[in-house]
Structure 1
Amino acid sequence: MKRLDVTPAAAEVIERLKKEHGELVFNQSGGCCDGTAPMCYEKGDFYVPSRNVKLGEICGCEFFIDKDQFEYFKHSFITIDVREEKAAFGNSFSLEIDLGYQFITKSRIFTDEEYKQLLEEEK
């Protein structure tokens, strides 16, 4: 059991970005300038704050989230998807914007059985 996954469409965009930029890292933004969205950076271009926790990996890329946000999402399965977002061109630091896309977060609550299994596996 894992905490997050990625849609095929988002995986395709991630693979395109990896070919162009090399290793990537994701951070679930907590708001402010970039809103609450998954942000994609070249691995060496993003400093992971000490208050962030690793939620998992998508397409071989580490995915981090702020500890406070994790408290909100800890009972949720997160799916990273992508949508065409031509209007956002240049409006974000996230790499996919230059391709005309924006990563988005979808979530659902784990079932009791899933959450129990997840906690057992994380021990």
Structure 2
Amino acid sequence: MIATDAARGLIAEIRQDHPDIIFHQSGGCCDGSSPMCYPADEFRIGEGDVKLGDIDGVPVYISGSQFEAWKHTQLILDVVPGRGGMFSLDNGRERRFLSRGRVFTAQELAALG
């Protein structure tokens, strides 16, 4: 997963209040289809969750079923106007995180193995 400058800026803003955070995208209904930002010590990673990597030192996880659907896609963490998910730390900031995606090229897929 990669992030836009806007996403990196919102991450930095949130970390001023909550230095240790994680992202998780569950793929469920409602807020579950958006990347959610939580205090790291308040969210339990599941056995089926897949770590996509880190953005500015913040780990990013996705549910196993979401990973299977998106594994051929470069996920891009972005920010748009609006309210974040009820339990996400972007809530109340009038901006929210959003996952965008683009399909990997054949060369990128080969490099991923």
Higher-Rg structure is 1
Count, aligned residues: 113
Equivalent residues of 2:80, 2:98 under 8 A apart: yes
Instruction: Specify the SS of the correspondent of 1:44.
Output: helix
Q: CA deviation at 1:32?
A: 2.9
Distance 2:23 2:106 in 1: 28
CA RMSD of aligned residues (A): 1.3
Q: CA deviation at 1:103?
A: 0.4
Unaligned runs of 5+ in 1: none
Name which of 54, 71, 75 aligns with 2:72. Answer: 75
Matched residue type, 2:35: P
Matched residue type, 2:21: L
Q: TM-score, normalised by structure 1?
A: 0.86
Which residue of structure 2 lines up, in the alignment, with residue 103 of structure 1?
A: 97
Distance 1:97 1:49 in 2: 23
Structure (1/2) with the larger helix percentage = 1
Query: What is the percent sequence identity of the aligned residues?
Result: 37
Which residue of structure 1 lines up, in the alignment, with residue 20 of structure 2?
A: 23
Distance 2:53 2:32 in 1: 21
Distance 1:93 1:60 in 2: 21
Name which of 2, 9, 13 aligns with 1:5. Answer: 2
Unaligned runs of 5+ in 2: none
Distance 2:32 2:24 in 1: 12
Q: CA deviation at 1:92?
A: 1.5
Distance 1:14 1:84 in 2: 15
